[in-house]
A and B are shown apart, each in its own frame.
Chain A
Amino acid sequence: MIDPVERALLAETVAAAIAAAAEQPAAAVDGALAELGWLEMLAAEPADAIAIVFDALGSTNAQATALDDVIVHALGLQPHPGLAVVFPPFAAWDPPGSVGNGRVQARGLASARATTASELVVVAATDREPCAVVVPAASARITTVRGVDPAAELRAVDVDTGIDTDGPAARIPVPWDGAVALSQRAVAHQIAGATRAMLDLARLHARERVQFGRPVARFQAVRHRLADALVAIEALDATLAAAADAPEPETAALAKAVAGRTARTVAAHCQQVLAGIGFTTDHPFHRYLGRTMLLDGLFGAADALVLATGRRLLAERSVPTLIEL
């Protein structure tokens, strides 16, 4: 762990650099991150690096392709800008690929990097542990997802290509659960940053917008909505801290579930407080709304994660405490 003072300084530097590039395409933000030494930070202090970078991406609404690096790193491979990853489909977190009969097939999402990378990592479920297969990016069908947030530069990926399934390099056993956990934490941090930004926008508006002769921030109905938004955000921060202190797949999945729910709660309250202006594209709120709707679906949507968690509790007839004093 980096010491707190150093960490705060680093967070400030990263946030400023990302903010400066935030309105630009993902490639520009990636460039800013590379200059900051993102890959070195990720290798040396992955937990802090992920928390700092993804919080900043969330709060500035910038889009980068750093999630590819997080996954590659967690899979035990060497991240580099030419290597992109096939993410699971929206809302899911199982390995997106399968291998058999000399072919690798996968369907999922990807970052903008999939378009520029030379290779794609496909993680495939097998009857034993999941395996990574690296395929030429040119062999995949990659389409742009416009969706609710075109600025996120998300891609849909379809892989169906022949491989030498017996070759030693073709199938690399990888810790998929660990990669999912780290990705969930990264995306949850991004959501945490985005929800704080939404709350800041709504606070500012509530203090400045005058109706009935006073700022709307004076109305208890407005205040309580914003208070509930903060409660949700603080709870998310706490689950992220718990996931960092007790780094297990369960704590990461719970942080991601809480993140998805927090995004929904905060967006609903803030949008209501922002009222008319928040319903226009003149105001930045809509960008955060669309972004968090997308992020909820990366590596496990809240509803799916809650259901899976409940199924596990009922199957094991046991409620684990997961974190202790």
Chain B
Amino acid sequence: MTREWTRGVMTGAGPSMAEYRAALHRWLDAHHDELAPRYAPPGTLDEQMAQMQRVKSILFDAGWMRYGWPEPVGGLGGSPMLRTELGATLAARDLTDPGLFSLIEVLAPTVIDYAPPALAAEVVPRLLSGAEMWCQGFSEPGTGSDLASLACRAVPDGAAETATTWIINGQKVWTSLAQYADRCVLLTRTGTAESRHRGITAFFVDMNTPGISVAPLEMINGVHEFAEVFFDDVAVPAGRMLGELHGGWAVAMSILPYERSSCFWQRIAYLYRRLQILVEAAPADDRAAEIVGDAFVQLHALRARSRQTQHRLAGGATLGAETSIDKVLVATAEQATYDAVRRLVPGCIETGDDLAAEMWRSEYLYSRAATIYGGTVEVQRNIIARRLLDLGGDE
């Protein structure tokens, strides 16, 4: 791979970013056959997972999977925008599903920032190169939007400060890809039941540890993307603690900047690709023009907003409550995009039985969750009202 442009792109802005993008596109064009899915899209989840890991492996060997990641964990350094651009490009080319691919962004940064350095150096390259899959054990049956109420318990074998092992009991749910995962970034209750965000501790748990069982859940589109995960006296070494004892809330919150920037940018690229497919198939009348135009205007505003967020993050800003605006915009635009499909290709989602219809149906149904996962839009509006509009508490 040519390296002249890499020095310039390390700041991740300006013309050098355009050079990185151009080089990436040239490389992907040249390796198209090697990277293309081996199945007719949309494929099963098993096929999509195998495709993603294969693509990651090829891209890791070629170096692309390593840009934007720190050198101590196998990266080549540079702005995180480089990896964002890669994920977006893969989504725009339908090489990987961004929902699966961008999980890296909610897992790897946490481990890099909070795991013992030797552990991060060992495991992060395995995630990036497709040798492993990880999952995120946050939500519980009683813990949806209110994450601080989680109950999955971790108890030390002896005094908490000197414990060598922690015993975990409890249940997680909505854990994406748990059945494929080798590891789990897990939030546990280590304080009193009432300690809320002050009594949570994060662990990095091997999924093959005795006592862990996984029961995939079927979503409304028929895909088993997420699962219930049960922990029954699961012993985890103290060296697998992420961050401080009772410091799990900070670990959980550290994910927000990446989830709300990089993941969204990849999702946006994917939505543009979906609108492109729709525009190729839609009738060329004014009703269609209004519907397509409406979805496009929403996507453009979202893209403009997300772009600002990426640049703020790359410029060293701490992202916070204002990313709730990005979240509302992405959820709304995603549903608008699939609503446009439903309106412009009547019967396709409802009665179509070919592969294209299967894709639209699956994705349309999945898009209904866009206003729910990652914090419902109602929770986002509460955050906006309290933190950005200074409307005070709502009790």
Please give the residue numbers on chain A whose beta carbons come within 8 Å of chain B beta carbons, in ascending order: 199, 203, 206-207, 215, 217-220, 223-224, 226-228, 230-231, 234-236, 238-239, 241-242, 254, 257-258, 261, 306-311, 313-315, 317-319, 321-325
Contact = CB atoms under 8 A, between A and B. Distances in A.
A314 B290 contact: no
A235 B305 contact: yes
A224 B383 CA distance: 10
A310 B272 contact: no
In order of increasing CB-CB distance, the 8 nearest A-B pairs are: A310-B293, A310-B289, A223-B385, A238-B304, A227-B381, A227-B384, A242-B304, A238-B305
Given A215-B392, A314-B279, A325-B85, A238 B290 contact: no
Given A226-B385, A231-B325, A310-B296, 20 more contacts: A223-B382, A224-B381, A227-B389, A235-B305, A235-B325, A239-B304, A242-B303, A254-B301, A261-B297, A308-B293, A309-B296, A310-B286, A310-B291, A317-B279, A318-B276, A321-B303, A323-B307, A324-B17, A325-B17, A325-B84
A231 B289 contact: no
A230 B385 CA distance: 9
A220 B329 contact: no
Nearest to B395: A218
Contact of B329 (A226, A227, A235, A314): A235
B262 to A, nearest CB: 10
A220 B379 CA distance: 11
Prevailing SS type, chain B contact patch:
helix
B300 interface: yes
B325 A234 contact: yes
A257 B311 CA distance: 24
Residue from A199, A218, A235, A311 having most chain B Cβ neighbours under 10 A: A235
Interface residues of B, number: 54
B169 interface: no
Contact of A315 (B284, B303, B322, B329): B284
Given A311-B286, A314-B292, A318-B279, A226 B391 contact: yes
A227 B284 CA distance: 36
Contacts of A218: 391-395
Given A227-B381, A307-B289, A307-B290, A314 B301 contact: no
Nearest to A250: B300
B291 A317 contact: no
Contacts of B288: 310, 314
A34 to B, nearest CB: 33
B308 interface: yes
Nearest to A233: B325
Contacts of A261: 297
